[in-house]
Structure 1
Amino acid sequence: MTSTLSLPEERFAQLAAGFGDAETVRWLVRAQGSVQRELLSAVGTFGPRDDARFTAAWGVLLGLDASAPEAVTQVLAHPYTRVWASTLLGNISRGEFIAADVHHMEAVAASAAILAGIDLRLPVPVRDGKAPLPLFGALRAAETVWIDTCRVTLDEPVRTLTHGDLTVTLEDTDPYRALPYIGSEIEPTGRLTAAEARQWQRAFTGALEFIETHLPAYLPGLRVGLRTILPLRPDGPTDRSASARTAFGAVGIAARQLNPQSLAELLVHEFQHVKLGAMMDAFELYDRADIEPRYHPPCFSHPRPIEGLLHSTYAHLALTDFWQAQRTIATGSAAAAAADRHAEVRALTAEGIALLESAGSLTVLGTTVLDAMRHRATD
């Protein structure tokens, strides 16, 4: 657990109000880096030492961490590396050693070697006809493949989205990208076509320009903390977005129409969840014993625990700002519709704040967040 003394009060206040400048979000990134390393250490400690493939890959990773620690740090910062580590540790705690998860250590080690520029010949395991390399993409294969880490040609190289000095992964290959959403209505796409990837790039450029112009307070944090966009399958008549606490820096997006303004709304909204999830890893914001799904957050038809209520309300701060911007730049009937939507979202935010006030489960720090949200909502 990270002490509150390590984050200056004014920076916590930024996050509590729903914002976070570059240095503040950089603190969240560093805090998450500590979590990621602790998880990797636990994987090495509790993993199956009688599995020769696991121990060999672990040895490679330890060697790389000694000679090229930044390369290991980069692989650990990939959102779905933490999903893998958390999944493996969960399996181990139940006495289960699932081969695909155990041997993914080889893929993690190989990616770290590629980043380090160290020429090694290493195995990469195959699942569902693909050998994944976190951060890089995948090779198509029928069984485990051996790669020369300085001479790798990928069948499905990872695509990236760029705007200025910001580059994020458009993740459609990692085998762990869907895992946080198993059993839900959230479903990542398969491999995108080249034309679809170009459409994403056009929308991304326009979305960042929109945020820079109309929602500038959100841009510095996005530039520092956004690492990955996960394309999701559209579902019905509404836009959809998703994030997972175990995948810091990643946001899932499904837009009915992939255009700059829709993507801008989904990005600022979903990155709120990313920030709050990292805050919850670092600080006690609510009573962890309050796990019953007894609250009805804004926009949810079924009850959620206190964590879900806090997430929903916090994310609605960004939605309120987005629709406030829309009502000022739209004209005619679009302006009227934006004003109606702004009023609706603002009312939902107030509803969430009232529910949090009556819950009685927030800690002192959680109450600080609540007070900051209330102040924002009444501006």
Structure 2
Amino acid sequence: MTAVESAHSLSEDQFAQLASGFGDAGAVSWLVQAQSSLQRELLAAVGRFGPRSDPRFAAAWDVLVSLDASAPDAVADVLAHPYTRVWAMRLLQGAADSAFAPADVHHLEAVAASAAVRARKDMRLPVPVRDGVAPLPMLGALKAGAVEQVWIETDAVDELAMAQPLRRLTSAGPTVTLEDTDPYRVLPYLGSEIHPTGRLSDAEAQQWQAAFADAIDFIETHLPGYAPGLRAGLCTVLPLRAEGPTDRSASARLAFGAVGIAALRLDPITLAELLVHEFQHVKLGAMMDAFELYDRSDTEPRYHPPCFTHPRPIEGVLHSTYAHLAIADFWRARETLATGSAREAAARRLAEVRGHTAEGLRQLRESGSLTTLGESLVQAMSEAERAG
């Protein structure tokens, strides 16, 4: 398998859209294509550096190569799953350390089986068991007992014995996965204060559905500049534990298309803010994968974005400032819609967010670490902040 070149180049106008904090369907679709190429490169590296001496790994790799020739779209779909990249990077780190974890090695079986299911191929394939179930990317988790593998007929998707079927959140805009089964969803947050939930109850999933549909309606109506990008690029919502006194959100550079949300109350307005806020990080992370925006050797946490208590490297300042463009637009909309004391509170919050954005932009301009393209990005962000 080799990397696939993007079908088209990102135009100056599309870059300007993204740099201003927005991005229409075409611009965000370009990011999706660029990530697809990156994911294929990672999978090729998995085949090159993975433990081909392991018979289960070698058999799964042969299945995947065969599927890539006969059903490339099905393989591409599985590669686009945000946590497939997380798994691939974990496996490659094992190769670099000469210490493969068996669970990571054998997860290739689940990736191959998921691709075969999507292709509706007539095959009998194994799916490895973890913690009493057999996670199958993009489908959920299969029932399993005290066995090492579950074998499935990949052309009989309706007959799969699912213990935890994956749910979908639908709306007038995007339809996304509510991801609470994939074992690799936890990895980006190990050692942090962010904790994905376990399996949600049916009632909790229904609450997510109701809030998500209304949140997208709010975005489509009151934040229309962000709606096309969400439709084109958001594919997964990761529920996080609602711990602490405030709503929280998180994304992972390795999990393109996924946003993590921890809402104390799943009300649509709060969810709308968290979605547009966190998808900013998703877009910027993909831009950082595609372009050199700053000196990559500038990793010292020497910057002080105002919304953080501890210093951050320049990448953190870029992310914080870019996200605040969307947060400001959200509070601008809230101020317009509210009356009385609620309007005053929204105005105060908007002023605070704009102050954070302006300070972040100042630190970026004075960093001395931006490339020419990075300077263009910051200039576009500055113009967007002033226009607001």
Q: RMSD in angstroms over aligned alpha carbons?
A: 1.3
Give the alignment's TM-score, normalised by structure 1.
0.98
Counterpart residue number, 2:214: 206
Q: How many residues align?
A: 378
**Residue 153 of structure 2 corresponds to which residue in structure 1?**
148
The equivalent residue for 1:219 is 227
Matched ranges for 1:82-231 at <5 A: 82-141=85-144, 142-143=146-147, 144-151=149-156, 152-164=160-172, 166-231=174-239
- For the residues of structure 1 that align with 2:382 and 2:267, how far apart are their CA atoms? 32
> What's 2:383 paired with?
375
CA displacement, residues 37-92 of structure 1 (integer Å, 9 cap, x when unaligned): 00000000110011000000000000000000000000000000010001111111
SS at match of 2:366: helix
- Unmatched runs of 5 consecutive residues or more in structure 1: none
1:305 aligns with 2:325: no
**Distance in 1 between residues matched to 2:311 and 2:199, nearest whole Å:** 34
Query: Which string of whole-angstrom CA distances, capped at 9 and with x for unpartnered residues, describes residues 340-374 of structure 1?
Result: 10000000000100111111111000000100111
1:335 pairs with one of 343, 352, 358: 343
Q: Report the more deviating stretch, 138-147 or 96-105.
A: 138-147
Contact conserved, 2:173 with 2:216, CA < 8 A, in 1? no
Pick closer, same or farther for the CA change 1:26–1:49 going to 2, 3 Å.
same
Instruction: Measure the CA separation in 2 of the matches of 1:355 and 1:166.
Output: 35
Deviation of 1:255 after TM superposition, in Å, equals 0.7
**Contact (CA 8 Å) 2:172, 2:217: kept in 1 or not?**
no
**What is aligned with 1:322?**
330
Amino acid at match of 2:234: L
Matched letter for residue 385 of structure 2: A
Q: The residue matched to 1:163 in structure 2 has which SS?
A: coil
Mapped contact 1:298–1:313 kept (Cα < 8 A): no
Instruction: Give the structure-2-normalised TM-score.
Output: 0.96
Q: Aligned partner of 1:32: which letter?
A: Q
Deviations 1:3-28 (A, max 9, x none): 9x921111100011000000110000
Matched, 1:353 2:361: yes
In structure 2, how many angstroms separate the alpha carbons of the residues matched to 1:165 and 1:16? 23
For 1:292, give the aligned amino acid: E
| Moved segments of 4+, more than 4 Å | none
**How far does residue 140 in structure 1 lie from its aligned partner after superposition?**
3.4
* Matches of 2:357 and 2:94, distance apart in 1: 38
In 1, the alpha carbon distance for the partners of 2:107 and 2:62 equals: 14
What letter matches 1:296 in structure 2? H
Does residue 48 (structure 1) correspond to residue 51 (structure 2)? The answer is yes
Name the amino acid aligned to 2:117: I
Deviation of the 1:150 alpha carbon:
2.3
Note if contact 1:298-1:312 (Cα within 8 Å) is conserved in structure 2.
no
Secondary structure of the corresponding residue to residue 199 of structure 2: coil
User: Given the alignment of the two structures, is residue 25 of structure 1 paired with residue 34 of structure 2, yes or no?
Assistant: no
Would you say the 8 A contact 2:294–2:369 is kept in 1? yes
CA distance in 2, matches of 1:58, 1:104: 11
Structure 2: distance between partners of 1:205 and 1:117? 30
The AA in structure 2 aligned to 1:262 is T
One-letter amino acid matched to 1:212: E
* Separation (CA, whole Å) in 2 of partners of 1:155 and 1:128: 12
User: Identity over aligned residues, as a percent?
Assistant: 69
Q: Deviations for 1:281-328, whole angstroms, at most 9, x for unmatched residues? A: 000000000011111223111111111110000000000000000000
- Give the match's secondary structure for 1:176: helix
2:225 counterpart SS class: helix
Q: Helix, strand or coil for the counterpart of 2:175?
A: strand
Question: CA offsets per residue over residues 104-124 of structure 1, 9 Å max, x none?
Answer: 000000000000001211111
Query: Following the alignment from structure 1 to structure 2, what is the Cα–Cα distance between the partners of residues 48 and 303?
Result: 40
Q: For structure 2, list consecutive stretches of 5 or more residues without a partner in the other structure.
A: none
Secondary structure in 1 aligned to 2:74? helix
C-alpha contact (below 8 Å) 2:124/2:153 kept by paired residues: yes
Deviations 1:212-265 (A, max 9, x none): 110000000000100000000012111100001100000000011101100000
Q: Which residue of 2 aligns with 1:364?
A: 372
> In structure 2, which of residues 287, 302, 305 is the aligned counterpart of residue 279 of structure 1?
287
The superposition leaves residues 150-193 of structure 1 with CA deviations (integer Å, 9 ceiling, x where unpaired) of 23121100000011362100000000001001000000000000
Q: Distance in 2 between matches of 1:87 and 1:304?
A: 25
